[in-house]
Amino acid sequence: MVMDKLSNSLQDALKKLVGAGRIDERTVNDVVKDIQRALLQSDVNVKMVMQLSKSIKERALEEDVPQGMNPREHVIRIVYEELMKIVGEGTDIPLKPQKIMMIGLQGSGKTTTTSKLAHYFQRKGLKPAVICADTFRPGAYQQLKTLCESLNVPFYGEEGNPDAVGIVERGLAEIDKYDVKIIDTAGRHSLENDLIDEMERIHAISSPDYKLLVLDAGIGQQASEQAKAFNDSIGISGVVISKLDGTAKGGGAMSAVAATDSSIAFIGVGETPQDLEKFEADRFISRLLGMGDLRSLMEKAEESLSEDELDVESMMKGKFTLKDMYKQLEAMNKMGPMKQIMQMLPLGGMGMKVSDDAYEVTGQKMAQYKTLMDSMTEEEMINPRIIGSSRIKRISIGAGSNPETVRELLKYHKQMQNAMKGMRGGKFNMKKMMKKM
């Protein structure tokens, strides 16, 4: 998952508080030391880590544990709030007609992010169009054109013409009727004067509503310097952190945002056009601390389903038949890779841990399960409890499978059923916890 290592270390640190009857200095110091190490390893700015450690220690020991909250929840709440201070609120790019200018160094993921962003607006019902003003990197034009074509997004570019400013001017006139106009600009290998100069000229001619800086999550501490330079030149309205799926160092880019007057708008979590997530600090931190991210999951479900296919509310109801699960598996297929879906579930909070390999198997398993369910009767699908061992055998033969897999499916269904219940009123319910606060 995104920032897996950091997430695991933070969760391990907080485990030290399980069963703690009260908060004493030694325990807090111990936990804070682990949190410190985890954040530094993921390259969060040292000064920020020190500040956070100090605040957590002071607050955990000095503030009263709110009524109805156990000591562990009390500390988690403080850690949550202090982490929120580091990443900032998150920049909201509204769903309305606008011009967006993309900036960043070469290789940061700017072109990929441009297409992801177009796809994002498209999914939200707006009409995006893209201008390629990256006249510097060979191949940028073809790359963006191909991506846009595959998404059915109108594209403007002039292959071979080095005049980026002219291209933007003509492009804007050409795509005038579209809602969201996204301009992909050229990067350089490093921050060079001619890059800044070109940025400023494109900025002047296009007057973008938003200027999004794309930072590669893997660059660690260098991120601050980049963010500052771009911010000093044209001002940054939001940051996109790309490639968060492939690095343990994302903390550098995360904390670099403090060098700008902005905050994180999106995160890139893979190479396909779907792999862009709107950044919302509360969700992100909840996920990092293993509390799941149900809101993202619900939104994804709603985006990819028409109403009659699956009532998202009913997913959360305790009564969850095999038929519901079948529909859900189909829906999940549409929502995206299993791995992404699973990591949004509060499995950590339910005491379940899923290894990376398990996700891969899970995708295949889902297909097997669907075949098995195809050989079940309507009655069995509604009330799986009636499935006895002779039916298990028959179902497995019908699907060209084996009885163990049928049993596994039934067990999986039971787990899912419990998980659904857990989301509503489980032991570790974020909503409930927030309410208590």
Q: Which residues bind ligand GDP (CB under 6 A)?
A: 104, 106-112, 137, 187, 242-243, 245-246, 268-271, 275
SS3 of residue 268 by DSSP: strand
Q: For residue 245, say whether it is annotated as part of any ligand binding site.
A: yes
| Least distance between ligand GDP and beta carbon 388 (Å) | 47
Q: For residue 283, say whether it is annotated as part of any ligand binding site.
A: no
Q: For residue 146, say whether it is annotated as part of any ligand binding site.
A: no
| Least distance between ligand GDP and beta carbon 358 (Å) | 20
Q: Which is nearer to ligand GDP, 187 or 292 (CB)?
A: 187
Q: How far is CA 329 from the centre of its chain?
A: 21
Q: Give the side-chain half-sphere CA count within 13 A for 397.
A: 5
Q: For residue 400, say whether it is annotated as part of any ligand binding site.
A: no
Q: For residue 109, say whether it is annotated as part of any ligand binding site.
A: yes
Q: For residue 232, say whether it is annotated as part of any ligand binding site.
A: no
- Name, in order, each residue with C-beta under 8 angstroms of 130's C-beta and a sequence gap of 6 or more: 114, 115, 118, 144, 148, 153, 154, 155, 156, 175, 181, 182, 183, 184
Q: Which residue is nearest to ligand GDP (CB)?
A: 268
In Å, how far are 329, 338, 398, 413 from 296, measured between CA atoms?
17, 14, 37, 22
First-to-last C-alpha distance (Å) of the chain: 28
Buried b (16+ CB within 10 A) or exposed e, 413-422: beebbebbeb
| Least distance between ligand GDP and beta carbon 261 (Å) | 23
d(CA 327, CA 228): 48
Nearest C-alpha neighbor of 426 from the set 360, 351, 370: 351
| Least distance between ligand GDP and beta carbon 168 (Å) | 16
| Least distance between ligand GDP and beta carbon 238 (Å) | 16
Taking a C-beta distance cutoff of 8 angstroms, is the pair 156, 175 a contact? yes
Q: Which is nearer to ligand GDP, 250 or 349 (CB)?
A: 250
Buried b (16+ CB within 10 A) or exposed e, 260-294: bebbbbbbbbbeebbbbbbbbbbbbbbbbbbbbbb
State the DSSP code for 193.
Answer: H
Q: For residue 242, say whether it is annotated as part of any ligand binding site.
A: yes
Q: For residue 140, say whether it is annotated as part of any ligand binding site.
A: no
Q: Which is nearer to ligand GDP, 189 or 411 (CB)?
A: 189
Q: For residue 111, say whether it is annotated as part of any ligand binding site.
A: yes
| Least distance between ligand GDP and beta carbon 119 (Å) | 13
Q: Which is nearer to ligand GDP, 198 or 245 (CB)?
A: 245
Nearest C-alpha neighbor of 344 from the set 301, 307, 393, 407: 301
| Least distance between ligand GDP and beta carbon 55 (Å) | 31
Q: Which is nearer to ligand GDP, 271 or 311 (CB)?
A: 271
Q: Which is nearer to ligand GDP, 214 or 301 (CB)?
A: 214
- Name, in order, each residue with C-beta under 8 angstroms of 326's C-beta and a sequence gap of 6 or more: 370, 373, 381
Joined together, the tokens standing for residue 244 give 């968060």
| Least distance between ligand GDP and beta carbon 295 (Å) | 21
Q: For residue 188, say whether it is annotated as part of any ligand binding site.
A: yes
Q: Which is nearer to ligand GDP, 269 or 344 (CB)?
A: 269
Number of Cβ atoms within 10 Å of the Cβ of 179: 17
Q: Which is nearer to ligand GDP, 147 or 180 (CB)?
A: 147
Q: Residues marked as binding? A: 104-111, 184-188, 242-245
- Binding residues for GTP, by number, are 104-111, 184-188, 242-245
